[in-house]
Amino acid sequence: MALSDLDRKMVLEAIEEYDQLGRDAFLERYGYREARDYFVVHNGRRYDSKAIAGVAHRGVSGRPLRPSEFSGGAATVGRILGHLGFLVTRQRDASPAEVFLEKIRNLDTAVSNGRSKRHQPLTLLWALGRAARREKRLAPWDVSHTEISALIREFGLDGDRPNPEYPVLKLTHFELWTLPEHREPPRPSGSALLGWMRRNQPISGLREWVYDLVAENEAVRCQAIAYLLSTYFQDKDQNALLTRVGLGDVDNEPPPLPQHVRTPDRRPTTVRRIIRDNALSRLIKTLHDYTCQVCGTRLLLPQGKYAEGAHIRPLGSPHDGHDVAGNLLCLCPNDHVLFDQGAIIIKNDLTVIDRLTGAPRGTLRIIAGHDIDPQYLAYHRDMYRGAASLSPVL
Ligand SMILES: [Zn+2]
């Protein structure tokens, strides 16, 4: 009668029957009451988790379980359905996206010398890159181990040991990750787990509901990435990190203008004006849904939405700004030019000032997950302090 013998197919069959009958008839047929706490989420719909597990049990023993035959709490049904890759949620109203982002904001990362360790964030970014490219969700251990180790060496804190065993197990117990062939993986502490991982060589990856969510929902994926970058990698070249985990090649930019607008003898200026920029800039623009943070304009081109990523403190000599999310704005082309030329500046309280008149133009639009670092705004203001005529930056 072990619920732990359930497999994913049995659960999906129960869900299918639930869909066919409808909730009331399904619960009535098998004698279950409406769930109050635990729901399993599939394709955006919620199902009473105990009833689903009990009916799915038909695949194990040939008959559904009655509700009195087992407990439907988190420790039993929640854990088993979770292991099979399903999201089991407590609140009726939390969507998978909310559950996922809540977990991302609450990673239990160790702290060393006042700084958070980056093993879990790097492991997640690696997996988000795979999902964005629709690569296989599960990877063999030698692949995960090699690739995550390299990321830890390159983007971890000084002295971090490149041991992906810990983040993988930590994320597994945090219910974002799964080792599908191992129902009872070791806790992520002590050194015995290193031997366990070496012996078992587990295939692993994001849980199925997490993978489906971040592969299909670009906005949620970008929010998670932006949060990880701004929380854990403020001192790193974030564009290099995105490119490194394969999040730089995901093409959500408008393609080049079609041939018929080109002229044979010279390059049309409209094409040159389209700024095709880097992975970090695309991430920020996607987060803002290509809406200008100064004026709220969102341009629609025949090829799709268009905005520009503007560095607040310019990159390269002599300014040497950093390629980090806190140094980027999502702007329309007009406001990009005005900003780069110092015709508008932004105060630390995010008031946008027209420097030609001295009058405020409004407040910079901000969104969760993308915080502007005031040190860069101050640098930009200083660049133009007292300057009457301004040299082009473009
Ligand atoms: Zn604008």
Which residues fall inside 5 Å of ion ligand 1, going by CB? 292, 294-295, 297, 332, 335
253 SS3 class: coil
Query: From ligand 1's centre to the CA of 220, what distance in Å?
Result: 24
Task: Report which of 322, 151, 70 is spatially closest to residue 51, judged by C-alpha positions.
Answer: 70
- DSSP 3-state of 185: coil
pLDDT band of 184, cuts 50, 70, 90: confident
Contact 310, 294 (CB under 8 A): no
Biggest alpha carbon–alpha carbon distance for the chain? 83
Whether 28 has a pLDDT exceeding 90, the answer reads yes
| 232-270 pLDDT tens trace | 998 889 999 999 999 876 554 554 444 444 445 555 444
- Tell me the range of 1-5, 228-232, 278-282, 327-331 where mean pLDDT is highest: 327-331
- Confidence class of residue 71 from pLDDT cuts 50, 70 and 90? confident
Q: What is the mean pLDDT of residues 20-38?
A: 90
pLDDT of residue 265: 54
**Average pLDDT estimate for 80-109:** 86
In eight-state DSSP terms, residue 314 is -
Nearest 5°: phi and psi at 234?
A: -65, -25
The mean predicted confidence, pLDDT, of the chain is 88
The predicted-structure confidence for 285-338, as pLDDT tens digits, reads as follows 999 999 999 999 999 999 899 999 999 999 888 999 998 999 999 999 999 999
229 CA to centre of ligand 1 in angstroms? 25
Query: For the chain, what are the domain ranges?
Result: 3-93, 99-230, 274-394
- In the chain, % of residues over pLDDT 70: 90
Q: Averaged over 68-80, what is the pLDDT?
A: 83
* pLDDT score for 327: 95
Distance 345 CA to ligand 1 centre (A): 13
Inter-residue contact 129 to 246 (CB < 8 Å): yes
Q: What is the pLDDT of residue 271?
A: 43
**d(Cα 229, Cα 224) in Å, to the nearest integer?**
9
Q: How far is the CA of 376 from the centre of ligand 1 (A)?
A: 19
Residue 273 has pLDDT above 60, yes or no: no
334 CA from centroid of ligand 1 (Å): 6
Consecutive H or E run containing 47: strand 45-48
Tell me the pLDDT tens digit for each residue of 119-140. Answer: 999 999 999 999 999 999 999 9
**What's the rounded mean pLDDT across residues 371-376?**
94
For ligand 1, the distance from its centroid to the CA atom of residue 296, given in whole angstroms, is: 6
